[in-house]
Amino acid sequence: MTRKESLKIASSRQKVTVPYPTMPINEFFASNVFNKQKMREYLPEEIFNSLINSIEKGEAIDYSIAQHVAAGMKNWALSKNATHYTHWFQPLTGSTAEKHDSFFHLSPDGQALETFSGSSLVQQEPDASSFPSGGIRNTFEARGYTAWDTSSPAFIYESPAGNTLCIPTIFISYTGESLDYKSPLLKSLIAVEKAAVDVCNYFDKSITKVYPTLGIEQEYFLVDDAIFNARPDLMMCGRSVYGSSPARGQQLDDHYFGSIPERVQAYMIDFEQESHKLGIPLKTRHNEVAPGQFECAPLFEEMNLAVDHNLLLMDVMERVSKRHKFRVLFHEKPFSGINGSGKHNNWSLSTNTGKNLLSPGKTPKNNLMFLTFFVNVIKAYHNHADLMRATIASAGNDYRLGANEAPPAIMSAFIGKQLSEVLDAIEHSKVDVAEGKEINLSKIGIPKIPEILLDNTDRNRTSPFAFTGNKFEFRAVGSSANPAAPMATLNAAVAEQLIAFKAEMDERMGNGESRDVAVLSILARYISESKNIIFEGNGYGDEWVELAKQRGLNNIKNTPDALDGMVTEKALKLFETTKIYTERELHARHEIQLEIFTKKIQIESRLMEDLALNQIVPTVLNYQNLLVKTVNGQKEIGISKAVLQPQIALIEKIANHLSDVLTNVDAMVNARKKANLIDDVKEKAVAYSSDVKGNYFDKIRLHVDKLELIVDDKLWPLAKYRELMFIK
Ligand code: ADP
Ligand code: MG
């Protein structure tokens, strides 16, 4: 579609009317989920009890039971007009995958039957060869298995083309290695649960279960569908490779918490309703900082479910956007010079007794448990800062981190003034501890932690890892990412740290030290070991970059280098002790991430070449030609050279930019050809990152964007930023 056509369509859009639901949310919330209530309704009592038991214990279910569960599930699905079923899984491509099978079967005598066997529920063998495996699946073992994750309920995905029963599954190779995001996440939940329960028991014996909670804020951009279709770069890469950004003016600040355009609001109401039917507890919605940018957030949930729900939400948002003639952009940086999008991961730990372990209690005793977890989390994050950086590395996030209003690539933590003071007091009390004196808890201020820790004025929005009163918020995660990777890593790091803490506690208490003295002595040391990662200032400022360097913190700006953090000895040890990845799995994942990065930059580079040579250059030449003719015509009628000089200068300016575009595109293509000859996966990614992208992307773009400002607006082929971002 041409820019002109697209603008015409976009400017005549009518909003799609979405009536508010006529019934209260609780009447349709989770209506498409095979939850406990539906299980009870559709399963025989004995089967129901047995299934619930397996779910609670996290055990696989028996085939004999699976048969009955499948039958009940099928009956429920048919009652919801489902015609197909699919195993729904999270391959390492980053999106979700599904392969639909029909319930429909023919009996030997030719009768049509609707069947769904226990084995189809529990396990399937999708053709796995098209999913990345990082060399794990050799051709002779090309099979991959999907297996039901009973901790995440089955659901029905509605679509005009027919409803589908979706069964959340893990995806593993024939040899048992994980090929997805879900299975390591589940393993990390087990690791952190065990380690956290053990530590809780120093303080509270009634705690028998601990589970991470996660609330995900999702940022996104909306673009009119027609204009989207007039931007091949958005279509192919999810981001604009060219485009001059409008001057950062008042209109940008006004957008934040400003009123939501009606057409957008209708879209939001629509996808919220669809999400509610799927049991996704969406709660908030608002405008974001940039024009055309928005955010939504659900209530937090148990982590595995929260991750599934985030992926499902993105899918729903994409599908519903089409009804409203929008395109939703989850890319981390769709527009240069404008804020990017993140996915803030709000993380905490909850217990079976209903306690949030990162919520300070009312009594000193409870506060000691809070402080134990609080400091151990900071220590864990400090131990594995480079690994955490690696988990959020992606081609998209490279454009976002450290750019406009986004956390830098430096992994620091923010805890607020009050807690900083508390930690300071603990750290400096270690002298007393060393002398074996009982510590006076009130002296160092533990009982004085106020219940509401952070008011809004004490919030720091510039830190990648911020304590926000009763949870940590990891903000460096990219908006398009599967949150499972960073969350599994955080769980693992915390589990490893809590195990180390327990070992030292046991030793000290075995030597007769009192619990409180042991806890405070250990915490005091942890604080002094990890405090260089705590930063309370402006994380967006240049001073922080300098200060972080002095503190010895890394600031790794590109994905290929950041990914090194995945495969260090330290990372390997972490994942082996917590049983999350084997060495082979870790290396496979590392390789896959590098390959994905290379491919993305390769596509962007090809697109830059294509758009420059096929759209920009011809347009500019036409315009230039027109100018030349005009100037010659003016000369002919006797206008003096002096008067024509500015026009000639303009032609010259265009010629210069044009020449820079052509030369740099040519050089970029050569750099790409050279990079393609490299066999080593890491080296190739580095070549793409520095030689192809680093050397040429900005340079080419600079000249194209300058030309955009000179060339006649009517001729310019690509929809401009102001057209992309302001929604009618
Ligand atoms: P913000 O001020 O950063 O927008 P909100 O209060 O809107 O923060 O919460 C952001 C997210 O944090 C929500 O999804 C919320 O449910 C989640 N959240 C709140 N408490 C917890 C918790 N204990 N564990 C995990 N997530 C939580
Ligand atoms: Mg937030």
What are the mean pLDDT values of the chain's consecutive 10-residue runs (728 residues total)?
A: 91 82 86 96 96 87 89 95 93 84 81 83 76 63 79 92 92 87 96 98 96 97 95 97 73 56 91 96 83 94 98 96 96 93 97 93 73 97 98 96 81 90 81 49 48 57 90 96 97 98 97 90 94 92 91 94 97 96 94 96 98 98 97 96 96 98 98 98 98 98 97 96 83
> Residue 605 and residue 16: Cα distance in Å, rounded?
37
Helix (H, G, I), strand (E, B) or coil at 92: coil
Mutate which of 214, 287, 300, 373 to test ligand 1's pocket (most atoms within 8 Å of Cβ)?
300
295 lines ligand 1 (CB under 6 A): no
pLDDT reported for residue 258: 61
Provide the 8-state DSSP code for 719: P
464 lines ligand 1 (CB under 6 A): no
Strands 282-287 and 293-298: antiparallel
Say what the pLDDT of residue 142 is: 56
Q: Is 300 in the pocket of ligand 1 (CB under 6 A)?
A: yes
CA 419–ligand 2 middle distance (angstroms): 19
How many A from CA of 345 to the centre of ligand 1?
A: 9
**Ligand 2 centre from 1 Cα, in Å?**
38
Q: What is the DSSP letter of 91?
A: B
Ligand nearest to the CA of 347: 1
* Nearest ligand (C-alpha, residue 284): 1
| Rounded distance from Cα 632 to ligand 1 centre (Å) | 66
CA of 518 to the centre of ligand 1 (A): 32
To test the ligand 1 pocket, which listed residue (284, 287, 301, 346) has its Cβ within 8 A of the most ligand atoms?
346
Is any ligand 1 atom within 6 A of the Cβ of residue 577? no
pLDDT of residue 255: 53
Answer yes or no: is the C-beta of 313 below 6 A from any ligand 1 atom. no
Give exposure, 262-271, as e/b (b: 16+ Cβ within 10 Å). Answer: ebbebbbbbb
- How confident is the model at residue 434, as a pLDDT? 45
10 Å Cβ neighbour count for 45? Answer: 8
| Contact assessment for residue 334 and residue 234, using Cβ atoms and an 8 Å cutoff | yes
- Residue 525 and residue 379 in contact, taking contact as beta carbons nearer than 8 Å: no
Cα–Cα distance, 396 to 331 (Å, whole number): 6
**pTM metric for this prediction:** 0.94
d(CA 659, CA 70): 66
217 in ligand 1 pocket by Cβ < 6 Å?
yes
Q: How far is the CA of 299 from the centre of ligand 1 (A)?
A: 7
CA distance 658 to 653: 8
C-beta 626 within 6 A of ligand 1? no
Instruction: Return the ligand number nearest the Cα of 349.
Output: 1
Quote the tokens at residue 291: 């024009």
pLDDT reported for residue 131: 75
Q: Which of 401, 557, 548 is nearest to 476 (CA)?
A: 401
Q: How many angstroms does the Cα of residue 333 sit away from the middle of ligand 2?
A: 18
Q: Is 280 touching ligand 1 by the criterion CB < 6 Å?
A: no
Which distant-in-sequence residues (6+ apart) come within 8 Å of 452 by Cβ? 469
**CB of 356 closer than 6 angstroms to any ligand 1 atom:** yes
HSE value, Cβ hemisphere, 13 Å, CA-based, for 325? 16
Q: Do 319 and 159 touch, CB atoms closer than 8 A? A: yes
